[in-house]
Structure 1
Amino acid sequence: MTRLIVAAGGGGDAVAAAMLDAALYGNERPAVILTYAWDRLLIDPVPGPRGPANFTGLRPLTRSVQAVPADARPVAPAGSTLPRLAAELPHTFVLIDPHHGAEGITRQLEELIQQLAPESIDLLDVGGDILARGDEPTLRSPLADALTLAACCQVNARVRLLVAGPGLDGELPADDLRDRMGPPVLMLTAEHVEPVGSVLEWHPSEATAMLAATARGVRGLCVVRDAGLPVPLTDEGPTVHEADLDDALNRNELARALLVTETLDEAEQRSREICGHSEIDYERDKASRLGSRPERKLDPDAALRQLDEFEAEARDRGITHTTFRRITEALGLGGKQRQDLRALLLSSRPEQYQAPLWHISS
């Protein structure tokens, strides 16, 4: 017997799933985590999610499902955090392939359930945009969550929908989510973060980084991603809530429209029609801009001067924290410089590191 956790939205949700698994169930029998290989452009320069054809070394589990072991490798130029997650965490990471739409993900789920006979199935979303209607102006990345929601609602098994860190993805404010969730089922603590602590030192997920930081007691206002969105870090940050799966589907117009999709292109078109955009189009546009920009070398002195300017502007807006991803983008650096920049900041100003966030001193 095992447990199955479906990471609703991508790499960060997979890390949160490992954290949640240890917090809810302990470490004796790590869960199987079904997740997208969908890392943002700092890690994967190719827009959109990766499928099985984008990896070597996958391990077949069923006809439609393949696990990503530690020795799997993304096919260049694609990138993925999943093999490193598999190397550092005891969980089995299984690849969601969205290229056959919600019907394909449903088929994957049904095969996994038949193969594993899991004692529990949790669908986990960090932030709560899985509870969106689809027309909210702040909604930026609804497609992945809507696809997994549509698929989970079609399997012949009980699936529990969990939302961790309401509002922490910077899309739907926590206030807008309160009437869409039940009371907290878990309050994450610093102890719950420890199993994924080393992963958070390199993984680029901002929402899961803020989830971990709030579990460790960090409070304030954090600025994230390329739009510079401010996200409150409050006592609600480390909470995990259960939400009704059917209610979520009935509310989520995009998820309902995706139920019978058979290709990712078809799912994208539904997103354009309902939400006014596809997040993969956004990634395509951004990748095109980044691709035409020469790669900059990291100049330590110039980077620290730029950081001072960035922090001064952030302080004027009441910002107290930021992510290393946001700093990397604000300084005009690429993914290859992110870890070098992080090492520079930790060595030069270690007192500002409130793991895994950067504290903007007053």
Structure 2
Amino acid sequence: MDDYLIDDDRLSLSRKSVLPGEGFFVPDSVDEAREEAEAREAIVGASTVVIADPDADGLACVALCREAFGAAALVPTGPHEIADSLEYVAEFADPDARVVVCDLCPDDERDIEPLAAVAEAHEVRWFDHHQWHEDLSLLVEEAGVDLVVGPSDEVCTADVALEALEYDFPDRFAELAAVTRDHDLWLREDPRSDDLADYSYWSEPEEYVETVREHGADLPAEVEEYLAERRVEKEALIEQAVERGQIEEVNGWTVGVTYGRCSQNEVAEAFREQGADASVVVKPSGSASIRGTDRFERCHEVAAQVNGGGHPKAAGCKPDIYDDMLDYAHHWTTRGAITKQVILDAFRALEPEDEDDEGIETET
């Protein structure tokens, strides 16, 4: 494929809004080879290996581990890449290396198949705050892993790691965890939390980890300037997604639904201001973000029906409906019509909550 066709820098904003980024068009085989090479380079010789989601919460945990242990290799890992990263550790880690897994929750047993072999050879600790299936947490603990899962509606994983790691952290790390929680739980009471979220998304993971390890939640001036420049386009993409959206009445809830490459949390906030109980943001890559409010705290139940998971007020998924590139072409030209319908059907399939249980978190 001609690089020109997928060059983000030359696309107009309207086209960039409805098409996936350049990385989408790189075959998985190429990505996997690169990821394996990078994992090998990071893991070999490391005394501590951290497998973490490369968002603000996961990377804050890496900063905590490096502060506590003096050094730690990072293996950036998405929710569907847990098994791959565990296999890299099993193959490349030194025998005396400790392993820490942060801000990741397995969806099924296949995600943790390599864990027993890793735990047999290494000390393994796992910190998280997502909604865990009881059977999966039991399997992890039976493998000999020190699993600590905090309540997903009260803490982020950085909070969990801060408390679980036996180390006298400087005050800036407690503040980093608190501000990370402010964004991860979508409290939005501290303006610095948006800075952390954007910086973790736009910067390289290693850059983010070292910056917050040194500065905590108070990012340096040069980073703030960088964020201000990037936010011009970010705000424009948010505006396009909101304008493209519709409000649907589904199963007794009001749901804002849209499509586009954008920051899902800000789009969800715009829908909330329009009276939406929940929001669905379908991405050009085929995935989707589901966001709730105090009136809808069952996002993880919706996502679980369509190949995903998460928290009561924030979840993600990618419906298994893409068989070839024609399906993706249809997805782009219809602005995610089938994906929207599949997720709205998942809202419709939710069982009503008993009035006596109103406000009580539903377990999956």
- Structure 1 or 2, whichever has the larger Rg, is 2
Same fold, TM-score > 0.5, yes or no:
no
Q: TM-score, normalised by structure 1?
A: 0.31
Q: TM-score, normalised by structure 2?
A: 0.31
Q: 1 or 2 for the larger relative contact order (CA 8 Å, sep ≥6)?
A: 1
